[in-house]
């Protein structure tokens, strides 16, 4: 019996294979054994600092290890994942996995939701949950599609025989959306790497009609001063500068030595927990539940995601002369929306962001961080609905 919201539009041309997350028991037994056998570092001054100024503490790792072994159960995560419709399809020789809610309305607006690193499709499940509680397949105003980016979780790739970057991901996502029957138009939403993919979609792909993001990675626009900024905006810039100075070492490693760090973190689930767990601790407004962190790390481990998923960072090294968002070539000449969350890595002023696209929607929130879809699903959902309601009639010519 098929799940509700699982029927693609009749206009879909892609060959779709229904998918269920099913991890063999042997893999789970191996994971448990590796967690138990993993050796932690000896106590040091650095790993004893409770403010985490030098990274995650030994006490936190010990506590999380105990929870991983005693109270976290992957089967519960698997059941939750499998309660949503999922498919795989073949694009350019890659197997692309996606989770989605399909509407039965002919006028439903297609929206593609794009995650980043160290995220996954899991980030958007709370938003999907809210949509399926609010609507039926007959009344849902949107088609909501969450691809697993190439290299992440249940998607294959990237290719082994050639380079592959943000532009390639955008091309694959565009083909996915058109194959699902949305060639006449769709909206892209993204955070983190997903925001960069969304920009490529908006600039390079005709079928993407509007772009909404919750982060822009850029430098101060040329010729702009800080004189007009208020205290809140200055605080956001300070947060960005502090991140660049003390929080971006992981990105340098992933961008310059992805092979090395890939091998390191593929060797131990506790190493992966330390590397990724730090981001789920530092990049949020309020602490995430330990179960949410363990679920994401477990999914990464069981699907061998980490070594396959960090290739996009290589595009930043050596740093380009002009960041893409500052480059006129990548200005979004389509309806552009932005949701600002104060604990984002780069909570930038509106005056900066509007130099990167035709900004028609802006919402400033009081809470939330880098994982906005996971931290503040109600707020991001409401913003997306308002943005689409504002821009879509003009795009489609509807009354």
Q: Which residues are catalytic?
A: 192, 313, 370
Cis peptide before 118 (omega within 30 of 0): yes
Q: 3-state class of 110 per DSSP?
A: strand
CA dihedral 264, 269, 272, 274 (to 10 degrees): -120
Phi, psi for residue 338 in degrees, rounded to 5: -140, 135
User: What's the token pair of residue 115?
Assistant: 């995650």
Query: CA separation (Å) from 64 to 35, 38, 73, 277, 384?
Result: 11, 13, 13, 10, 34
Measuring CA to CA, which residue among 283, 290, 302 is closest to residue 215? 283
| Token pair belonging to 19 | 């998918």
Bridge-partner residues for 147, per DSSP? 98
3-state SS assignment for residue 185: coil
Strand partners, 188: 112, 211
Query: For 343, which DSSP code?
Result: B
- Asked whether 305 and 152 are in contact (CB, 8 A), the reply is yes
């Amino acid at each position: 019996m098929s799940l509700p919201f699982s029927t693609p539009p009749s206009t879909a041309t892609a060959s779709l294979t229904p998918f269920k997350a099913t991890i063999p028991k042997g893999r789970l037994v191996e994971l448990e054994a590796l967690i138990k056998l993993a050796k932690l570092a000896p106590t040091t001054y650095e790993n004893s600092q409770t403010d985490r100024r030098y990274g995650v503490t030994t006490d936190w790792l010990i506590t999380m290890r105990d929870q991983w072994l005693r109270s976290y159960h992957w089967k519960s995560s698997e059941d939750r994942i499998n309660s949503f419709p999922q498919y795989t399809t073949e694009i350019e020789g890659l197997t692309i996995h996606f989770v989605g809610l399909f509407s039965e309305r002919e006028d439903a607006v297609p929206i593609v939701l794009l995650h980043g690193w160290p995220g996954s499709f899991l980030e958007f499940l709370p938003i999907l949950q809210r949509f399926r509680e609010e609507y039926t397949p007959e009344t849902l105003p949107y088609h909501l599609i969450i691809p697993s980016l190439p290299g992440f979780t249940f998607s294959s790739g990237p290719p082994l025989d050639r380079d592959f970057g943000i532009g390639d991901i955008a091309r694959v996502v565009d083909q996915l959306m058109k194959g699902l029957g949305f060639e006449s138009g769709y909206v892209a939403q993204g955070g983190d790497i997903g925001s960069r993919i969304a920009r490529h979609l908006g600039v390079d792909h005709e079928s993407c009609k509007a772009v909404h993001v919750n982060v822009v990675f850029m430098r101060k626009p040329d010729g702009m001063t800080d004189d007009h900024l208020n205290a809140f905006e200055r605080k956001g810039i300070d947060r960005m500068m502090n991140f660049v100075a003390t929080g971006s070492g992981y990105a340098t490693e992933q961008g310059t030595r992805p092979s090395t760090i890939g091998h390191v973190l593929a060797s131990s689930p506790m190493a992966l927990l330390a590397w990724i767990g730090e981001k789920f601790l530092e990049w949020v407004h309020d602490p995430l539940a330990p179960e949410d962190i363990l679920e994401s790390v477990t999914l990464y481990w069981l699907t061998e995601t980490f070594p396959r998923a960090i290739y996009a960072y290589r595009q930043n090294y050596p740093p380009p002369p002009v960041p893409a968002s500052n480059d006129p070539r990548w200005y979004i000449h389509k309806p552009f929306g932005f949701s600002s969350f104060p604990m984002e890595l780069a909570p930038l002023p509106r005056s900066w962001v509007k130099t990167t696209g035709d900004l028609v929607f802006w919402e400033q929130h009081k809470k939330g961080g880098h994982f906005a879809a996971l931290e503040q699903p109600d707020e991001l959902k409401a913003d997306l609905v308002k943005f689409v309601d504002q821009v879509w009639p003009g795009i489609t010519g509807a009354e």
